[in-house]
């Protein structure tokens, strides 16, 4: 994998099949997002190499189609269910106390576009993502070399038979001007870093705490205590039976530490 170009990994027979499938899925179906915390909140670190968050497929026909296409039970556990049989909606990494990077399934952006227009989403095959209301931005792309006039016209909306053919090539084969998108190594993408609000940011920590099996790295005791309280109070996701008492001893230690160091 390390010796391959980004666009080669999905079709490289020297890479394990399960890794190729995961890589292809993220390459073609996920969008990148960067989020920072508001003042007074921080992201914790639990040593996690990234968290998957998913949803059960509620449409039985779609589930059979996906299993036939990708393979039986090729789903990862999600936060809304204790069992297998979910499709990944987001994958996130808290890189620093102020920055989280997220891969987000294109399904979420497609459904949000309907909501923004005051329309009902076409698909109700999935449960809502725990991060359903996180800001969505599209990267500003600089194409090098520039796209042809025909492709630029196609991207602004199909108008002719040629436009429809180019759009089909783009959506199915992931090509622009006959070239696979991921091979356009000179294109540059400029991403916006969005600031989460005081309701959204703690959810990142709630999922981290839910899956925490060891040490918690943090900067501010008061900020971590806020996250522990939100974790105990959260009723959106399925959590452990003892979620309200799981971190009680840690909370008491943090409270004592705050009293010893005024202004923390």
The answer to whether position 112 is within a domain reads: yes
83 with 214, same domain? yes
Q: Is 208 helix (H, G, I), strand (E, B) or coil?
A: helix
Q: 206, 41 in Cβ contact below 8 A? A: no
Q: Is the dihedral of CA 197, 225, 93, 98 positive or negative?
A: positive
Number of neighbouring beta carbons within 10 Å of residue 20: 17
Burial tier of 49 (Cβ tally within 10 Å: 0-12, 13-18, 19+): exposed
Burial (0-12, 13-18, 19+ Cβ within 10 Å), 62: middle
Residues 6+ apart with CB under 8 A from 227: 44, 202, 205, 206, 209
Q: Which pLDDT belongs to residue 174? A: 83
Task: Tell me, yes or no, whether 173 lies in a domain.
Answer: yes
In a domain, 67, yes or no: yes
Range of the domain at 148: 140-190
Q: Which residue has the tokens 């522990």?
A: 228
Co-location of 82 and 181 in the same domain: no
Q: What is the DSSP letter of 40?
A: T
Global pTM reads 0.76
Nearest 5°: the CA angle 105, 109, 110 is 105
Q: Answer yes or no: do 104 and 174 share one domain.
A: no
Query: How far from 255 is each of 243, 252, 260, 261, CA to CA, in Å?
Result: 19, 5, 9, 10
Report pLDDT for 180.
86
Domain match, 164 and 88 both: no
pLDDT tens track, the chain, 264 positions: 888 888 888 888 898 888 888 788 788 788 899 999 998 899 999 887 788 887 777 666 666 666 665 554 443 333 334 444 567 888 899 999 999 999 988 877 766 565 555 655 555 566 778 888 898 888 899 999 999 998 988 888 767 888 888 988 888 888 899 888 888 889 999 999 999 999 999 999 988 888 887 789 999 888 888 888 888 888 776 555 566 577 888 888 888 888 776 655
- Strand runs (DSSP E) across the chain, as ranges? 30-36, 51-56, 86-96, 99-105, 140-142, 175-176, 179-180, 188-190, 193-195
* Residue 128 CA, distance from chain mean position: 13
Same domain, 35 and 103: yes
Is 41 within a domain? yes
**Residue 234 and residue 240: Cα distance in Å, rounded?**
11
Number of domains in the chain: 2
* Residues 72 and 125 placed together within one structural domain of the fold: yes
DSSP summary character for residue 207 = H
């Amino acid at each position: 994998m390390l010796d391959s170009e980004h666009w080669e990994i999905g079709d490289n027979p020297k890479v394990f099949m399960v890794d190729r499938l995961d890589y292809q899925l993220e390459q073609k179906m996920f969008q990148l997002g960067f989020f920072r915390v508001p003042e007074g909140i921080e992201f914790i670190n639990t040593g996690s190499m990234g968290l998957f968050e998913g949803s059960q497929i509620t449409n039985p026909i779609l589930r059979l189609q996906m299993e036939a296409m990708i393979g039986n039970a090729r789903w990862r556990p999600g936060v809304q269910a204790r069992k297998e049989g979910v499709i990944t909606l987001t994958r996130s990494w808290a890189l620093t106390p102020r920055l989280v990077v997220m891969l987000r399934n294109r399904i979420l952006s497609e459904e949000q576009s309907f909501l923004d227009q005051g329309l009902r989403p076409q698909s109700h095959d999935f449960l809502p993502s725990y991060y359903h209301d996180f800001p969505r931005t599209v990267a500003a792309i600089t194409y090098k070399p520039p796209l042809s006039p025909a492709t630029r016209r196609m991207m602004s909306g199909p108008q002719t038979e040629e436009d429809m053919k180019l759009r089909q090539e783009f959506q199915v084969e992931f090509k622009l001007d006959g070239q696979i998108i991921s091979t356009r190594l000179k294109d540059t993408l400029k991403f916006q870093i969005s600031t989460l609000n005081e309701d959204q940011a703690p959810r990142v920590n709630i999922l981290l705490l839910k899956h925490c099996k060891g040490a918690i790295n943090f900067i501010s005791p008061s900020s971590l205590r806020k996250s522990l309280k939100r974790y105990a109070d959260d009723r959106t996701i399925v959590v452990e039976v003892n979620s309200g008492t799981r971190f009680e001893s840690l909370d008491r230690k943090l409270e004592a530490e705050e009293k010893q160091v005024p202004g923390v």
